[in-house]
Amino acid sequence: MSGAVQSVIRQPMGMAGQVSTPTRVTDPLAALIGMTITLPRDRELYAQGERAEYCYQVISGCLRTVQLMEDGRRQVAAFLLPGDCLGFDDFDSHDFAAQAVTDVVVKRFRRHDVEAQADRQLALARRLRELGASALRAAHDRLLLLGRKTASERIATFLLEMAARQHQSHMVTLPMSRVDIADHLGMTVETVCRMITHLRREGTIAVVPSGVELHAPGALRQIAADLRH
C-alpha cells in the first residue's frame, strides 16, 4: 500500500492562486472540455523539451516541474497541488519536465483548443493572463528565496507556503521527498534534514510520517523574514 501516497492534500479546485480574485462564480477553465488522466507516482506527465500539445489542471495528488543540467543537478521549479494549472503558458515546447510526486489525477486540455476558445471567450483569455501572472509572481518570490535567503529561512518559508496552500495552519502534508525539497530550495538533502531537525529540537515543528506539524507558526514566520506585508 502506498502509505503516504493517498494522504495527499485534498482541496477543492478553483483556488489556483491565493490571489483575491473577486468572487468568480464560474471558472472559465471549468467550461473547457478536458479529459481526465491518471498518472502513477514518479511517472512523467511530459518531458523537458517535449512538444507542448496539452496543458493540465491538477485534480488530486502532487506534481513537480523539473529542470535538469547535464551533470545531474536538478531544480524543482514548483510543486503543483489540486487546482493548480501547468503548461498553459509554454511555447511550442515545454520548458521543463512535469512528474508525478504521488499518484495523480489531472484534467488534460488540448492547448490548441484552449487558445481557440480564448479567442472567443474574453473571460477565459483574462483567466489565462491571470494564470500567467500568478505563476510569475510565485517565480519571483522564489527568486528572492534562492538568491538571498539562508537555509533556515528557506525551510521556514517553504513550510509556511505549503501550509497556506493547503489551507492549514498546524498540519502540513509533505508528499514529496527530502531530495525534492532540497532541489526546490536550492540546497542539499543533508542541509534540509539538518534544518528540519533543528526546528524539531527547538519545538517549532514535529515531524510525522506524512509531513510536519507546526507547533509555533509564529516562530516560523519570524525565521522566514517574509517580505510583502
Residue selected from 146, 151, 189, 206 as contacting a copy of itself according to rule CB under 8 A: 146
- Cell 515543528 belongs to 205
Decide which of DNA, a copy of itself, none touches 146; Cβ closer than 5 to 8 Å per partner kind: a copy of itself
Nearest Cα neighbor of 174 from 1, 2, 5 is: 5
Query: Distance (Å, rounded) from C-alpha 111 to C-alpha 183?
Result: 29
In angstroms, the Cα distances linking 167 to 34, 59, 91, 219 are 26, 16, 32, 19
Shortest distance in whole angstroms from residue 93 CB to a copy of itself: 5
CB 54 within 8 A of CB 67: no
Closest CA to 101 of 122, 121, 86, 120: 86
Which residue among 3, 73, 201, 209 contacts a copy of itself (CB under 8 A)? 73
| Residue 92, binding choice from a copy of itself, DNA, none, Cβ under 5 to 8 Å by partner class | a copy of itself
Comparison of 35 and 139: residue with beta carbon closer to a copy of itself: 139
Give the interface with a copy of itself as residue ranges (CB under 8 A): 16-20, 48-49, 67-71, 73-75, 77, 89-93, 95-96, 115, 118-119, 122, 125-126, 128-130, 132-133, 135-137, 139-140, 142-144, 146-149, 183-186, 225, 227-228
